[in-house]
Amino acid sequence: MSTASELRVERSAGSSGSTLAQKLIARAAEKSHVKVGDVLTCQVDLAMFHDSSGPRRLKPMLADIGAEIWDRNKVVLVLDHYVPARDADSEKIIRITRDVAKEWQLPHVIDSEGICHVVLPERGHLKPGYFCVGGDSHSPTGGAFGTYMFGIGATEMLGVVATGEIWVQVPETLRMVWHGALQKGVCAKDMMLHMIGKFGMNGGNYQAVEFAGDTVRGLGMQERMTLSNMSAEMGAQVGLIAADSTTRDYLKSVGVSQAVIEQSQYFETDDNADCQRFDFEASQLSPQVAAPHSPENTKAVAEFSHIKPSVAYIGACTGAKLTDLRAAAEVLKGRKVAAGVQLLVAPASARDQAQATQEGVMQILMEAGASVLPNACGACAGYGGTFEEGATVISSTARNFQGRMGPASVQVYLASPATVAASALKGHIADVREVLA
């Protein structure tokens, strides 16, 4: 646990207000007010699933129970886990997925254009106030848009696509309030690794985590998504951020109509709502690194300067969005990675990569020595194309479980894209603040 941030806990008592989580659930359950602990049936506004959790599992089960999709307009299918196909088995899964998408006449299919959690908002599917489910554990990413979104398994997704409903138990809220400005080179990933180190992999205990304070309000949407995304690694059900003018600007930029933006519901946690509050000082946070084999093994970067990675990986929904690519390029501009380090970059979406190309960001990364990989989950999901026996990896991804990204001997250190870039440059795990100074 880092000593960098000051922590203060408060619990408001005898209150009558509601949290953001309560308000979102109340809307979906068509209630005026809901209490923590209530078990309710909610109407689902949007269900997202991908090539692994989706059609290959859902089709036979839907046939088995004799049901059809409740509303295909509310379903988004993304092909990101098994693309591009590496073998005959993956090819078969992709073929089934595409065939079923045609058969079901799904209007929203995003095929090989990026990772589900990034392309979903990029195509304007997430709106503030929505109640959504995703067939993937990083579905809390949607919480960055003031949306109640959580991950479920394929059988539970069957229930959703057959009925349009799902049960939820109203969670308590852990409110993470960040104050002040982050140091140059320190970013949302460092904030999140720090919080996971403090609370542990299941410290969120399937509660709602909410990120607030002027630091969070000052972050762009993709940085906010990184916070919400790794709420999964805290064991929270959702990672919520109240939608604001930054959210509206993003929605506008991805083509959501002004009418829809205005009709969306912008909830906030009431001042007198009952929740656990934790305060953090952003200016005192140093870059963070999580050692193998758990995201909770987090310490300040200085503790790891003796580690010499053979691979530096910038990838995943957590760590290869446009903002992440820009952060890496700022570090690597006009420089080359150290001898013996392989830098791999898998941009999280085709649109982010196109924008990064236009800005010269991809050029900088490639000139520094990066190999560019497809816009897919890649090595992070561990479904193929993983690292070799004995590799030491510094990675901008979300999980470093033993055996996830390759053989059990692979050592994965998690860090921000900026720290991954700085480490690739120096040949050892390095403090990005020194590189940028």
Decide whether 156 or 249 has the Cβ nearer to other proteins: 156
Task: Quote the least distance from Cβ 132 to other proteins, whole Å.
Answer: 14
401: helix, strand or coil: coil
Burial of 209 (0-12, 13-18, 19+ CB in 10 A): buried
What is the distance between the alpha carbons of residues 252 and 242, in angstroms, rounded to a whole number? Answer: 17
Task: Quote the least distance from Cβ 181 to other proteins, whole Å.
Answer: 33
Task: Quote the least distance from Cβ 141 to other proteins, whole Å.
Answer: 13
11: nearest Cα among 208, 252, 173, 243: 173
Q: Are 319 and 346 within 8 A, CB to CB?
A: no
Q: Write the DSSP symbol of residue 260.
A: H
Backbone phi, psi, residue 84, to 5° = -70, 150
Helices of type H across 237-315: 245-253, 258-263
Decide whether 167 or 336 has the Cβ nearer to other proteins: 167
What is the distance between the alpha carbons of residues 350 and 11, in angstroms, rounded to a whole number? Answer: 44
Residues in the chain: 437
Task: Quote the least distance from Cβ 358 to other proteins, whole Å.
Answer: 34
Decide whether 200 or 213 has the Cβ nearer to other proteins: 200
What is the distance between the alpha carbons of residues 232 and 188, in angstroms, rounded to a whole number? Answer: 15
Decide whether 82 or 130 has the Cβ nearer to other proteins: 82
36: nearest Cα among 22, 17, 54, 57: 22
Task: Quote the least distance from Cβ 95 to other proteins, whole Å.
Answer: 13
Decide whether 25 or 251 has the Cβ nearer to other proteins: 25
Task: Quote the least distance from Cβ 192 to other proteins, whole Å.
Answer: 16
Decide whether 157 or 225 has the Cβ nearer to other proteins: 157
Task: Quote the least distance from Cβ 14 to other proteins, whole Å.
Answer: 27
Task: Quote the least distance from Cβ 75 to other proteins, whole Å.
Answer: 17
Decide whether 88 or 259 has the Cβ nearer to other proteins: 88
Q: Are 179 and 169 within 8 A, CB to CB?
A: no
Q: What are residue 177's DSSP bridge partners?
A: 212, 279
Residues at the contact surface with other proteins, assessed by CB under 8 A: 39, 52-53, 61, 64-67, 82, 89-90, 93, 134-137, 139, 150-156, 158-159, 162-163, 167, 200-202, 205-206, 232, 235, 237, 294, 381-384, 386, 399, 401-404, 408
Task: Quote the least distance from Cβ 127 to other proteins, whole Å.
Answer: 23
Decide whether 121 or 134 has the Cβ nearer to other proteins: 134
Decide whether 91 or 303 has the Cβ nearer to other proteins: 91
Q: Are 161 and 70 within 8 A, CB to CB?
A: yes
Task: Quote the least distance from Cβ 36 to other proteins, whole Å.
Answer: 15
Decide whether 119 or 379 has the Cβ nearer to other proteins: 379
Instruction: Write out the H or E segment, with its range, that includes residue 423.
Output: helix 417-426
